[in-house]
Structure 1
Amino acid sequence: MGQDAATFAKQVDQMRTGAGFIAALDQSGGSTPKALRLYGVTEDMYDGEDAMFGEIHEMRSRIITAPDFTNAKVIGAILFERTMRGEVEGRPTPQALWDVRGIVPFLKIDKGLEDKANGVQLMKPIPGVEETLKEAAEFGIFGTKERSVIHEANPEGIKAIVAQQFELGMTVLAAGLVPILEPEVDINSATKAEAEALLKAEIKAHLDQLAEGQDVMLKLTIPTEDGLYDDLADHPRVIRVVALSGGYSTDEACERLARQPKMIASFSRALAEGLTKQLSDAEFNAALAANIDKIYKASA
């Protein structure tokens, strides 16, 4: 499969200028049972890991095939590895997204977080990352997402987290994909605003070192100071700055995001809020359409 240059250029343009948001459909091993519980599927309703992942894939397929899940409002979607390798309506999921819906596919590549040190949680090592990136490119994946977490305004910790994000980003760029760097700031941090100021300075220093063509995306917590990341969004090496919902309710996340002129949403929990397996297709599609509309308006 893979990407040809014309498709890649079209996808870059959609990410850079498209109106809409990025759907995060990438809950992985640890967060899957929680995502399923919210979807109305409890642990006693499936037996074992394969059945659990079967249930979450059915949920994602239901979202992807819903009438309002198109590039009119959703410009990209982040997938979990199993979802990338799975199928939706008889096609590999990345093709079902791009060829049918016009939605740019991304892949979550991080393998979870290290224990907290210096006020942050770095990413765990990612064994075989080059092979995963090669496989992703063959599936027609456009870019990747990699998450780490900042809990407090610790300069040493934030320096380490940004350095790790950009190091992995260079590996992704070398594989011909576009990285979404995600150093999340915990919304409950007592030093959130201070951490964000440190984070912004570190990111800017690394962006200034990138060569032409080494373009990245950033996925950041909605900042305490409105417009804080506007000049990162304007940096020549940044395709787009997207916002994570970070545990805010859909309404609060959308209300905060609407005050950020140069950020668009990349929400997971907020997108799926109120969606359950027990809903009829008509009810499910209506609830999803309402969530999509709300997040789209906050991103616009």
Structure 2
Amino acid sequence: MNKEQLERVQSGQGFIAALDQSGGSTPKALLEYGVKEDSYSGEEEMYGRVHDMRTRIIKSPSFDSKYILGAILFENTMDRKIDGEYTADYLWEKKGIVPFLKVDKGLADLENGVQVMKSMPELNDLLQRAVDRHIFGTKMRSVIKEANAAGIQKVVEQQFEVGKQIAAMGLVPIIEPEVDINISDKAEAEQILKDEIAAQLAKLDSDVKIMLKLSIPTQDNLYKELMEDPRVVRVVALSGGYSQSDANEKLSRNNGLIASFSRALSQGLTAQQTEEDFDALLGHTIKGIYEASIT
């Protein structure tokens, strides 16, 4: 584990940029960016176009370590280069931004009100590649769609089981049990989730370091106790489908909770914008998310 990067993520002011749209969500991300599906052919060309988009974001003067602590990458992005350097190396060496990697392979079918992660039989190989590519930590997502205690327990147990496998490779896992922001029993689900996370944290060895990525809670500062656990490097929040302004407003009411936004980060950016307009909008967005993250 890179101790300088750990200190930056643990103590720095700023937020984590999520640039990790994967295969299934890439066409939608490109469409929102103004790149239609008929403008590229096949998966390889699609990934090339999305890498161009991410490269433009990362190389923007607005994408600055003054505001951004880390960036989460998709596997394909990790294996590509920016100006001759692998993306993770470019982020850290040129920008001072800590690189993370999305490692999950998507969601299983809904059961007991939740979607756990699909099996990841090749995870160790991916983790070794991540170490070789100088990745600091990883991210993996599950989804909670109702306040079902048995389902939530299963989600958290799976997340921590895989998290320990990741930590054993010297990486810091971001555990992400997302609560769907549109469910009617969101607050109840979040309380169950908090209790399950606390129970799993209590079982971890004292030297294990993890991060948590959670939906912005209905009850402000719900996750304060989790932030105080010495094994928790940082608790970050996903935008979860909230608009940029709503996500920032809700986040700002939660002291110590910082952003890890994807859709809210790239909202309004298009391939057709001039570099000046692109940088100006991205800079405005980044500063807004930053301000909401330092409350």
TM-score range, shorter chain: over 0.9
Corresponding residue for residue 65 of structure 1 = 59
CA RMSD of aligned residues (A): 0.6
Aligned to 1:262: 256
Deviations 1:75-118 (A, max 9, x none): 00000001000001111000000000000000000000001000
Using the TM superposition, give the Cα deviation of residue 203 of structure 1 relative to its aligned residue in structure 2, in angstroms: 0.1
Q: Determine what percentage of the aligned residue pairs are the same residue.
A: 55
Counterpart AA for 2:256 = K
Q: Which amino acid aligns with 2:135?
A: I
Residue 195 of structure 1 aligns to a residue whose secondary structure is: helix
Q: Give the match for residue 198 of structure 1.
A: 192
Cα deviation, residue 70, structure 1: 1.8
**2:176 matches 1:154:** no
| Whole-angstrom CA distance in 1 between matches of 2:10 and 2:122 | 30
Letter in 1 for 2:183: S
Paired letter, 1:121:
Q
Q: Which residue of 2 aligns with 1:42?
A: 36
Distance in 1 separating the partners of 2:84 and 2:120: 30
Structure 2: distance between partners of 1:12 and 1:91:
22
Q: Provide structure 1 residue ranges, at least 5 long, that are not aligned to the other structure.
A: none
1:249 matched to 2:240:
no
Amino acid at match of 1:83: T
Residue 71 of structure 1: CA displacement? 1.0
Which runs of structure 2 are paired with 1:88-127 in the superposition (5 Å)?
Answer: 88-127=82-121
Q: Which runs of 4+ in 1 moved over 3 A?
A: none
| Cα displacement (A) at 1:135 | 0.7
Distance across 2 between alignment mates of 1:51 and 1:286: 28
Matches within 5 A, 1:1-300: 8-300=2-294
Give the Cα–Cα distance (whole angstroms) in 1 for the partners of residues 209 and 45 of structure 2. Answer: 39
Q: Partner amino acid for 2:59?
A: T
**Residues 246-280 of structure 1: per-residue CA shift (max 9 Å, x gap):** 00000000000000002000000111011000001
Q: In structure 2, what residue type is equivalent to 1:234?
A: E
Can you list the C-alpha shifts for 1:34-91, whole angstroms capped at 9, x where unaligned?
0000000010111111111111000000000000212100000000001000001111
- Mapped to 2, the partners of 1:224 and 1:262 lie a distance apart of 16
Query: 2:274 and 2:121 mapped to 1: Cα distance?
Result: 41
Question: What secondary structure sits across from 1:246 in the alignment?
Answer: coil
Work out the CA distance in 1 between the residues paired with 2:92 and 2:114: 35
**1:17: how far off?**
0.8
1:80 and 1:133 mapped to 2: Cα distance?
Answer: 13
Unaligned stretches of 5+ residues in structure 2 = none
CA distance in 2, matches of 1:216, 1:274: 32
Name the SS of the counterpart of 2:211 in structure 1. strand
- Provide the aligned length of Structure 1 versus Structure 2: 294
Matches of 1:63 and 1:39, distance apart in 2: 12
Distance 1:101 1:239 in 2: 21
TM-score (norm. length: structure 1): 0.97
Q: How far does residue 127 in structure 1 lie from its aligned partner after superposition?
A: 2.6
Helix, strand or coil: the match of 1:206? helix
